[in-house]
Amino acid sequence: MTGQSPPIFIIDDEEPVRAGLARLLRAIGMNSVTFESAESFLAAYDAEQDGCLLVDIRMPGMSGIDLIEELSRRKSSLPAIVMTGHADARAMERLNALTLVGCLSKPFGVAELKVLLQRWWTMLDRGDPPWS
């Protein structure tokens, strides 16, 4: 099923986090593409491509929230799952104004991630995800 699933775009400034999430997604049959920054994702962004963002809120330069807001301005329908270890009141306020699949508090478990991926998969109306 790996070749058939739309990619999960992992955007996090920490290489070990990106690598670990990519391995985890591969193990459950999901495609992923990693980016070290919101800017590097935008440089490669293709508005025609399906997928889902798995993005850290706090990163040097453009934040994950800034990225999601920019994609919204570009009329992107790319859904997002945000990850945070440091959600402050202002960040949560900004997140509440966005359409998200969900939010994960770092550190999070595989089961928590699967719940949000299931929600995204259901949004795609594709039936059962590859790890069922």
Count the residues in the chain.
132
Residue 132's pLDDT is 62
Do residues 57 and 89 make contact, with C-beta atoms less than 8 angstroms apart? no
Write the CB contacts of 59 (distance below 8 Å, at least 6 apart in sequence): 11, 12, 13, 37, 38
CA 86 to chain centre: 17
> In this model, does residue 52 exceed pLDDT 50?
yes
Positive or negative: CA dihedral 36, 37, 39, 45: positive
Residue 30's pLDDT is 92
Band the pLDDT of 37: cuts 50, 70, 90.
Answer: very high
Distance of alpha carbon 123 from alpha carbon 107, whole angstroms: 25
Residue 1's pLDDT is 35
CA R_g for the chain: 14
pLDDT in tens, 71-93: 989 999 889 999 988 766 676 77
Global pTM value? 0.89
All structural domains of the chain, each given as residue ranges with its CATH number in brackets, are: 8-122 (3.40.50.2300)
Distance of alpha carbon 86 from alpha carbon 18, whole angstroms: 18
